[in-house]
Amino acid sequence: MLVYTLTNNITGDVWVGTCKDSSDERFMQFQEAMALGVKEKIYKDLRDFGVQNFTVEDYALAYDREELKDIFDEAMDTYNGKSLIGVKTSLGKTSIAKSAPLKSSVGTAKRKTLGSTTKTASTVKKAAAPAKLATGRTGSAKKEKLIKEKLAEEKAMRESQKSKQIMEQADEMAAIMARLDSRGSTVNKRR
């Protein structure tokens, strides 16, 4: 479990949230919900200032819910932040049924612009992340170093799992294509 911050680079407002695995994936959910037209303060800020003007950063790692709550409260106090807990990322079933026919053409236009700004937001995040040093929840540098190392290890592990999965899928696809090619050549020889 992870506590992360979402910083508006223009106003300096800091939003604090929690997620299970990846703060980047959670930010993507917020961007998708913004395109749906969900009514929340964070989505208004994302629309007004632009997704590219927000920076996502991991704050700290928690191993249980109690520690997660403590770290979250500390981040809220440290940054005088706004909470992202309880922010909806989808419309209710009745809302979708009523609003979908009216906003279908608008929704596709928003998705097109969202795709181009998403890449910008991720590049801004990558450029800003290495410069930021982890703020501590304890006074011990040893513990802070351990927390940073754990965060880096988990991130590297997630990335390696994703790349491994992509390589396995590519190998599987190559094997399927090879079988299809071999079948195709024997069928032509029989005719």
Q: 30 and 91: one domain?
A: yes
Q: 36 and 24: one domain?
A: yes
Phi, psi (degrees; rounded to nearest 5) at 5: -120, 145
Q: 63 and 156: one domain?
A: no
Q: Which residue in 114, 95, 91, 121 sits closest to 7, CA to CA?
A: 121
Q: 29 and 93: one domain?
A: yes
Angle (CA) 33-39-80 rounded to 5° is 90
Q: Please answer whether residues 26 and 93 qualify as being in contact, where contact means their C-beta atoms are separated by less than 8 angstroms.
A: no
Domain span at residue 59?
Answer: 2-137
The number of folded domains in the chain is: 2
Q: 74 and 165: one domain?
A: no
Q: 106 and 35: one domain?
A: yes
Q: 70 and 108: one domain?
A: yes
How do the pLDDT tens digits run along the chain, 191 residues long? 899 999 999 999 999 999 988 888 888 888 888 888 778 888 888 888 888 989 999 888 888 899 999 999 999 999 998 998 888 877 766 444 444 444 444 444 444 444 444 444 444 444 444 444 455 455 677 777 888 888 888 888 888 998 999 999 999 999 888 888 887 765 556 55
Q: 128 and 167: one domain?
A: no
Q: 62 and 149: one domain?
A: no
The pLDDT value given to residue 89: 78
Q: Please answer whether residues 12 and 19 qualify as being in contact, where contact means their C-beta atoms are separated by less than 8 angstroms.
A: no
137, 158, 173 — which closes off a domain?
A: 137
Phi, psi (degrees; rounded to nearest 5) at 20: -80, -45
118, 137, 156 — which closes off a domain?
A: 137
Supply the CATH number for residue 111's domain: 3.40.1440.10
Q: 153 and 177: one domain?
A: yes
Residues in the chain: 191
